[in-house]
Amino acid sequence: MKSKIYFILFVFINSTLISAQEIGLQLSDNVKSETISFQLIKNLVVIPVNLNGHKMNFIVDSGLRETILLSQFNDALDHKTLKQINLKGLGNTGEGTIGYYSSSNMLTIGRNYFSFKIPIVVIQDEKFNLFSRLGIDVHGIIGYEFFRNYPIKIDYVKQKITIYKTLENNKKLKKYTVNELEISPEKKPFVRIDFSHQKEYLQQKMLVDIGNSDGLWLFKTQFDDLAQPNQVFFDELGRGFNGTVSGERGTINQVSLGKSTFKNPLIAIPDPNSIQFINVKNERKGSIGNEILRRFTIILDYNRNKFYYKPNKNYDDAFHYNRSGLTIVHDSFEWDNSEITMNYKSNNSTEKENIGLTQKMNYQIVLKPVYKIEHVRKNSNAELAGLKANDQLIKLNHKKVEKMSLSDIENFMREHEYETITIEILRNNQPKKIEFKLDIPYQN
């Protein structure tokens, strides 16, 4: 098993302002399909969009009905038309947050997928700084509007999304397995899976959640006799409007999507207090997320209620968790001294005199990233070794992290799984060197 830093974002909006009367995104009349590239960052699908003339990056989240814009970027909207609404989300408090609603925005994805009347919900919450967790500017999240009108193919290997006008006469569909896709009144997609853990659970209804970086979430309150997972430990699963989403992680015996079966998959069971605003009256038992979905090329066809999938080269990848016990974020940038050597000849010297003449010039113009530990998992080896939240990361195994991206740091943790690593930090401007083993002290 390998390490991974997980990030999950969920939004629930209680407002009569949100309606499904808009036409939604449309493909141009003269095209049969549109293909766009995406980035897969921490198991989240991030696409480029253009909102009212502003280039942005949005997370694709099939578990979300609305299209969300973070308040840091609301200059793209007409403020005169904003209306205040209340937002509820995952978390362990009941406070929620304030948001704003904007109608009739122009959204373009690729060259030929667009709408002039996309409703936007603005999250008025500065804590939702996605750059710090993902390492790139992410301006918002798009949900149902992205999927509602056309079949959507997601190729996780090539990192391409294709919007088809129709799947009729598409001969490549013969290579896919097809399941029924149930669309709820809340406009969310569901499929049925089987799993076993001390007993068999057949045809369990799961949200197809492309905004969830985990593989499988199970809602314990929806089962009468679900046994505790194997190799279980308590963890932070993500963040919502109402605070931290906490729960258990562990393994179960197996999970099956059709004939595709995974042995000992890693799963998460959120604490009931963290999911109090989720609607489970429709027999929903949990969510299937990108740690499983990325093992397939998938097509979601909302209008025909079809879910197509075929295995890709990720199929046999090991499931992995964050064994470091650390949530590391890109906290800020700082200027640093950097010496640049330049060789040049003086204009006041002859060519003969200038042979071999060099001068060094130093510039203080280098902007370098600052990484901090946002959260340390309780009872993890990192906590037992003495690491704390707000420690500034300086070196990993004597390598400066200022030359690394967040993905590089994540890959480092994955590549050194089960090894003892050395972390150098700054705490209150005092350097410290700490060693610990990248492994999880399980509860059972």
Lowest mean pLDDT of 41-55, 87-101, 314-328, 402-416, name the range. Answer: 87-101
Residue 320 lies in a domain: no
- Among 311, 335, 367, residue at a domain's last position: 311
What does the alpha-carbon distance between residue 193 and residue 191 come to, in Å, rounded to a whole number? 7
CA distances from 247 to 24, 205, 210, 228, 280 (A): 36, 20, 20, 12, 18
What pLDDT does 124 receive?
A: 75
CATH number at residue 215: 2.40.70.10
Three-state SS string over 200-217 comes to EEEEEEEEECCCECCCEE
Residue 184 lies in a domain: yes
The residue segments making up the domain with residue 410 are 326-437
Please give the backbone phi and psi of residue 161, each rounded to the nearest 5 degrees, phi first.
-115, 130
Q: What is the mean pLDDT of residues 83-88?
A: 76
Above 60 in pLDDT, residue 373? yes
What pLDDT does 359 receive?
A: 57
Q: What is the mean pLDDT of residues 245-271?
A: 94
**Whether residue 375 sits in one domain with residue 292:** no
User: Dmax over Cα atoms in the chain, in whole Å?
Assistant: 91
Report the amino acid identity of residue 167.
L
User: Do 6 and 43 touch, CB atoms closer than 8 A?
Assistant: yes
Above 80 in pLDDT, residue 6? no
Lowest mean pLDDT of 17-21, 143-147, 216-220, 290-294, name the range. Answer: 17-21
What pLDDT does 2 receive?
A: 38
Q: Is 401 exposed, middle or buried (0-12, 13-18, 19+ CB in 10 A)?
A: buried
- Which comes out higher in pLDDT, residue 277 or 237? 237
**Whether residue 351 sits in one domain with residue 277:** no
Contact residues for 385 (Cβ-Cβ < 8 A; gap 6+): 434, 435, 436
Above 50 in pLDDT, residue 392? yes
Work out how many domains the chain is built from and give that number: 3
Above 50 in pLDDT, residue 17? no
**Whether residue 338 sits in one domain with residue 399:** yes
Half-sphere exposure of 415 (CA within 13 A, CB side): 8
Q: What is the mean pLDDT of residues 152-160?
A: 98
Above 50 in pLDDT, residue 11? no
**Whether residue 107 sits in one domain with residue 21:** yes
Q: What is the mean pLDDT of residues 193-200?
A: 96
What pLDDT does 14 receive?
A: 44
What pLDDT does 376 receive?
A: 94
- Among 115, 131, 164, residue at a domain's last position: 164
**Whether residue 370 sits in one domain with residue 234:** no
Lowest mean pLDDT of 77-86, 88-97, 305-314, 384-393, name the range. Answer: 88-97
Considering the entire predicted model, what is its pTM? 0.86
Q: State the pLDDT confidence band at 361, using cuts at 50, 70 and 90.
A: low
What pLDDT does 344 receive?
A: 57
What pLDDT does 24 receive?
A: 85
Q: Name the token pair of 348.
A: 């006041």
Residue 246 lies in a domain: yes
Q: State the pLDDT confidence band at 442, using cuts at 50, 70 and 90.
A: low
What three-state secondary structure class fits 74? helix
Q: What is the mean pLDDT of residues 350-358?
A: 53
What pLDDT does 426 receive?
A: 96
**Whether residue 354 sits in one domain with residue 285:** no
Lowest mean pLDDT of 47-61, 90-104, 275-289, 383-397, name the range. Answer: 90-104
CA distances from 404 to 133, 179, 244 (A): 14, 42, 27
Q: State the pLDDT confidence band at 443, using cuts at 50, 70 and 90.
A: low
What pLDDT does 346 receive?
A: 55
- Among 164, 187, 219, residue at a domain's last position: 164
- Which comes out higher in pLDDT, residue 440 or 172? 172
Lowest mean pLDDT of 25-34, 235-244, 296-305, 316-325, name the range. Answer: 235-244
Q: State the pLDDT confidence band at 395, using cuts at 50, 70 and 90.
A: very high
Lowest mean pLDDT of 58-72, 98-112, 160-174, 346-360, name the range. Answer: 346-360
Contact residues for 123 (Cβ-Cβ < 8 A; gap 6+): 11, 68, 69, 70, 71, 87, 97, 99, 241
What pLDDT does 355 receive?
A: 55
**Whether residue 122 sits in one domain with residue 146:** yes
User: Do 109 and 51 touch, CB atoms closer than 8 A?
Assistant: no
Above 60 in pLDDT, residue 347? no
Q: What is the mean pLDDT of residues 36-52?
A: 96
What three-state secondary structure class fits 404? coil
Residue 318 lies in a domain: no
**Whether residue 334 sits in one domain with residue 209:** no
Q: How far is CA 4 from the centre of its chain?
A: 12
What three-state secondary structure class fits 179? strand
Residue 336 lies in a domain: yes
**Whether residue 186 sits in one domain with residue 109:** no
Contact residues for 415 (Cβ-Cβ < 8 A; gap 6+): none
**Whether residue 117 sits in one domain with residue 52:** yes
Above 80 in pLDDT, residue 337? no
What does the alpha-carbon distance between residue 335 and residue 321 come to, in Å, rounded to a whole number? 34
Above 50 in pLDDT, residue 235? yes
**Whether residue 349 sits in one domain with residue 297:** no
What does the alpha-carbon distance between residue 392 and residue 349 come to, in Å, rounded to a whole number? 49
**Whether residue 305 sits in one domain with residue 238:** yes
Above 80 in pLDDT, residue 45? yes
Residue 6 lies in a domain: no
**In whole numbers, what is the pLDDT of the chain averaged over residues?**
85
CATH number at residue 427: 2.30.42.10
The alpha carbon torsion through 24, 67, 40, 171 (nearest 10 deg) reads: -20
CA distances from 57 to 41, 46, 250, 316, 413 (A): 12, 6, 32, 30, 27
Above 80 in pLDDT, residue 192? yes
Above 60 in pLDDT, residue 356? no
